[in-house]
Structure 1
């Protein structure tokens, strides 16, 4: 809205009757309203108007009538009173005194009514022009509001304000982060004002104005003012810096509105950062729970889970699901899983493989819901696969993970893309008490160590037999060099060659028997692995485990036996069988589907790039107990 300052700047003879009256120069003004001696004050017509009376008006000559007139004008919201006088004349001193007492600005104007009309027209035109500019400003601000909360929100606001005001603009984040500026190079304005910006950021003061001429300005900026505005109520707070030769009312309005939007934008960004920190913290906690369960630390896992989802692991059993997807959609798949089953399960990115999500469904009661929810996630997009374990004890989460991994192998080669592991008889479950004695003796060099060193080596060895060193390191949350040192130490103590698939299979069986072996009484003298496996029950297990291979049209058992004999090297296997390596790989893929095991086509000790569990251990032990195969331990 125009002001008295604007009106007195026009060439129509309007001026303040006293110098002190200029303190009211910013009163809003909408027009001129002449008031004849015969007319009473109309409240609806004089609000924000300059009321003009002639110098001969009798109300100006009588103090009581003048008091009533000014009181009425003040109550009606008039902007000021102007006395129309011939050139060279002044208002009476008592008129100025009464006006001061009422707080009504007093001005003089020429006594030509035509000048009043032109003054009124100029004020109205300026009012309409400012209304249009204000509408344009608000329309542009509404456009900026649509982009609030976006990643480019601050840059859009800064660029818009610089364009609208024809100014140089910068937003200085707290803690020395990168400034957002417009146009390019506007950040140079801040160099002379760094100290003031820092003070404003950390103090409660809302704004400051600086003259660059007094601050050693950069070239070409000596005629600019720089105004600094604190954004929001945080300490330290971001600061808006605006540099311009002058600050018009429109510029001040645009700055005020921009400050409001910047406060909303910075609050939204702060909330987004807080949400992201919380999400990452929860993700780390879920992964820590998985890592603790995978290493057998059930009590610690339960204690950790209470911080995230109280009571979720206060159970004895669980099922494990592994969902495999493309690496490019890994983050969105995790979110989909959380939305589908996150309230009743532990959902974690697999620490070993970046294209897998692991879901632990504590039972009973959550397995069906987890299966239904994860099935929907798989069905939502191609190239997603789901493997599900059978129900296992919570202490056996690592074995359940292995079951889910075996099911995932089958899921990747079936049209449904979903497979549940079919529970088979575990070799460790059918061995007699001689196996306990053997396992205790085989692991004795490790079991005799101090508790902390023993558990570190045993946990690392158990994972190192089923995972590559790099994957085992990610599960344990340690460096792969640490895993390599622990595996080397364990192999040295046990006098084992971890590069040999048969020795890895034997050690894996000993570790499966460890818990029951430590509890069992010593009833037999230590015996060898060949004697432990020399029972009818074991031979029956081996024939049943390998039975699906006998129903195939290919010589799959012969291929597997040669593959084990070649220490799982495909090229050596192909040479031994006089086959093409592609044929050997085809046999192995077919066997994988039939026995639900991942068969690594390389040395499982150093194939870091392989994304799945090695499944050759059971194959080694099954072939070793059958007299018709050449595999021996």
Structure 2
């Protein structure tokens, strides 16, 4: 909008001058329109009833002060009305070069009321067109300001706790006012646009901090500091600066932006307070669950998530990621499955997130949650890992957590960085692949020397070791005698006894490694001693796997471990094992079924028996892995 000072400069054809030296305040008064009257209209009709705020009143025609005695009271009333209604100034049309006609008493009255007195030599029609121009300018300004305010409101986030909301408003405000914008607290920057604004506005912030005041007026050349919440004593400040002064319209827009930023700041504070309280409650509930205090944990979560922990069983998942990304991962996890699970950042490990998923029925395996968590880990990318437990009683969640942490460690060996249960983890993937290949090739070297013999053994031996010969022959579509002959030849060449479960397991593992797990650079045999199977299993990850497998077997009130060891010692024959233990065959079979349930392995398969044998050997040292000595003697020969 034009001002009294700018109009006299920008429109010289109006020949507008101040009757007395115009003060800075008078020159800064905005003109919102021109009201034209004649002396005769003032005498006959009195002061106009409507004088819009910011009006410049222009008296045209004969100089009113020629009618000194009659016009002076009316002019005084006009000045009083203009003072009350925010008039910009009073102008009188005079002849070019004439001195101002205002008598001293009118000049004094105007000065006391704060009304500027001016003269103009321009024709009345110039002022009529000026009035139209001002109105058109006001309309354009109003439309632009409406568009700005609408755009500003659009920057409000769908959720006021949106962490990026302040930055988006700052990014909008900077070009809107052609300024630098900084939103800060005493100890941190909340938003800056451009990124260098913090450096540019540092002096203003420092001055405010040192002086202990927070002015809402100019605190420096073309700088504004506005508290976002002065009534609540919040210390968040909006600071802006630019090369040119801020006019009243700019300040109004700035105050609107500050109000929105204040709402966002308040929402952030309230969200943080609620989030901290929620986090504390969830952490407390999780600790109570680990201590077996299920009822107390349910009471803690009753208001936050009614019914969430009202189940008898649950699974535990562990997500590990970079420390800097843990909070983001926790938020994503809560957004994806937060209604179904309890999510807690691990207070003991700043890279880990702990998740309890209550299982609501026997059919509920937690598949939906595990799928979402797998997607989350894939989206986070390396080195993020996901481990899970089996289904545990709510009172045994400490054991479930231990299994999930173990599974998460195994996940580092998996292509997708995910192991959803220790019991579902693949032992072979936990072995040192280079050493495992060396061991397997050393063991199978006598079979692999003859290429024709190796091709037939490669096809037949895995099935012949895993199934009875009749079943293997049917699977391979060979005659039973062919399968039996090849198996006998392999046992003879390897100096193995395939009636021994230990020998069958060792050769089957070697065949799997060589035929299915070949690595791009397989080790060549050298004269050095190959690793033993016991040494191959002697690694931290295999020890953790074995302990997780055997722990529920050892925790059973029945002596399942002794039964399993005896069964393996007698090459998986129930009758001699029962006789040695002094138990009935029914009891031995019942114990073996319990072992299957605890370890989630099928002991009717060679792979299931292998995991039982290896896990027991790693944890207890029994049974012996007799193939170690046999394999070494084969290589030595």
TM-score under structure 2 length normalisation: 0.53
Aligned mates of 1:400, 1:185 — CA distance in 2: 50
Q: Which residue of 1 aligns with 2:355?
A: 357
RMSD of aligned alpha carbons: 5.6
Aligned mates of 2:58, 2:250 — CA distance in 1: 32
Q: Which residue of 2 aligns with 1:322?
A: 315
Aligned mates of 2:303, 2:131 — CA distance in 1: 74
How many angstroms does 1:196 deviate by? 0.6
Aligned mates of 1:551, 1:566 — CA distance in 2: 18
Residue 563 of structure 1: which of 578, 590, 614 is its match? 614
How many angstroms does 1:303 deviate by? 5.6
Aligned mates of 2:389, 2:615 — CA distance in 1: 26
Look up the SS of the partner of 1:145 in the other structure. coil
Q: After superposition, what is the alpha-carbon deviation per residue over 1:488-532, rounded to whole angstroms, capped at 9, x for unaligned?
A: xxxxxxxxxx99989x9799858969xxxxxxxxxxxxxxxx999
Q: 1:114 to 1:240 in 2, by over 3 A?
A: same
Q: 1:118 to 1:240 in 2, by over 3 A?
A: same
Aligned mates of 1:319, 1:398 — CA distance in 2: 15
Aligned mates of 2:226, 2:551 — CA distance in 1: 72
Look up the SS of the partner of 1:244 in the other structure. coil
Superposed, 1:603-618 pairs within 5 Å as none
Task: Tell me if structure 2 keeps the 8 A contact 1:33–1:51.
Answer: yes
Q: 1:20 to 1:386 in 2, by over 3 A?
A: closer
Aligned mates of 1:190, 1:77 — CA distance in 2: 35
Residue 155, structure 1, aligned to residue 161, structure 2: no
Task: Tell me if structure 2 keeps the 8 A contact 1:231–1:240.
Answer: no
Q: 1:99 to 1:241 in 2, by over 3 A?
A: closer
Q: Which residue of 1 aligns with 2:227?
A: 230
Aligned mates of 2:85, 2:201 — CA distance in 1: 47
Look up the SS of the partner of 1:107 in the other structure. strand
How many angstroms does 1:35 deviate by? 0.9
Q: 1:99 to 1:553 in 2, by over 3 A?
A: closer
Residue 263, structure 1, aligned to residue 266, structure 2: no
Q: Which residue of 1 aligns with 2:179?
A: 167
Task: Tell me if structure 2 keeps the 8 A contact 1:337–1:374.
Answer: no
Q: After superposition, what is the alpha-carbon deviation per residue over 1:155-190, rounded to whole angstroms, capped at 9, x for unaligned?
A: 333344333333344334321x24744445444434
How many angstroms does 1:289 deviate by? 1.5
Q: 1:241 to 1:570 in 2, by over 3 A?
A: farther
Aligned mates of 1:499, 1:169 — CA distance in 2: 55
How many angstroms does 1:560 deviate by? 6.2
Q: 1:238 to 1:512 in 2, by over 3 A?
A: farther
Q: Which residue of 2 aligns with 1:108?
A: 119
Q: Which residue of 1 aligns with 2:497?
A: none
Q: 1:559 to 1:339 in 2, by over 3 A?
A: closer
Aligned mates of 2:304, 2:164 — CA distance in 1: 42
Task: Tell me if structure 2 keeps the 8 A contact 1:2–1:127.
Answer: no
Superposed, 1:195-214 pairs within 5 Å as 195-199=206-210, 203=213, 205-211=215-221
Deviates more, 1:382-391 or 1:266-275: 382-391
Superposed, 1:463-474 pairs within 5 Å as none
Task: Tell me if structure 2 keeps the 8 A contact 1:206–1:229.
Answer: yes
Q: 1:571 to 1:82 in 2, by over 3 A?
A: farther
How many angstroms does 1:292 deviate by? 1.6
Residue 13, structure 1, aligned to residue 21, structure 2: no
Q: After superposition, what is the alpha-carbon deviation per residue over 1:429-481, rounded to whole angstroms, capped at 9, x for unaligned?
A: xxxxxxxxxxxxxxxxxxxxxxxxxxxxxxxxxxxxxxxxxxxxxxxxxxxxx
Q: Which residue of 2 aligns with 1:242?
A: 241
Look up the SS of the partner of 1:236 in the other structure. coil
Residue 591 of structure 2: which of 542, 552, 557 is its match? 542
How many angstroms does 1:322 deviate by? 0.8
Residue 31, structure 1, aligned to residue 33, structure 2: yes
Residue 50, structure 1, aligned to residue 49, structure 2: no
Aligned mates of 1:84, 1:311 — CA distance in 2: 76
TM-score under structure 1 length normalisation: 0.53
How many angstroms does 1:91 deviate by? 1.0
Q: 1:45 to 1:389 in 2, by over 3 A?
A: closer
Residue 131 of structure 1: which of 127, 142, 159 is its match? 142
Q: 1:210 to 1:150 in 2, by over 3 A?
A: same
Aligned mates of 1:134, 1:500 — CA distance in 2: 68
Q: After superposition, what is the alpha-carbon deviation per residue over 1:28-53, rounded to whole angstroms, capped at 9, x for unaligned?
A: 42222221234335435765422222
Q: 1:532 to 1:268 in 2, by over 3 A?
A: farther
How many angstroms does 1:209 deviate by? 1.6
How many angstroms does 1:154 deviate by? 3.3
Look up the SS of the partner of 2:101 in the other structure. coil
Q: 1:88 to 1:119 in 2, by over 3 A?
A: farther
Task: Tell me if structure 2 keeps the 8 A contact 1:290–1:348.
Answer: no
Q: 1:559 to 1:128 in 2, by over 3 A?
A: closer
Identify unmatched segments of 5+ residues in structure 1.
212-224, 362-366, 414-497, 514-529, 580-633
How many angstroms does 1:83 deviate by? 1.9
Q: Which residue of 2 aligns with 1:61?
A: 69
Aligned mates of 1:150, 1:506 — CA distance in 2: 46
How many angstroms does 1:101 deviate by? 6.1
Aligned mates of 1:307, 1:246 — CA distance in 2: 56
Q: 1:576 to 1:167 in 2, by over 3 A?
A: same
Identify unmatched segments of 5+ residues in structure 2.
322-328, 376-385, 408-419, 426-542, 559-577, 632-637
Task: Tell me if structure 1 keeps the 8 A contact 2:57–2:90.
Answer: yes
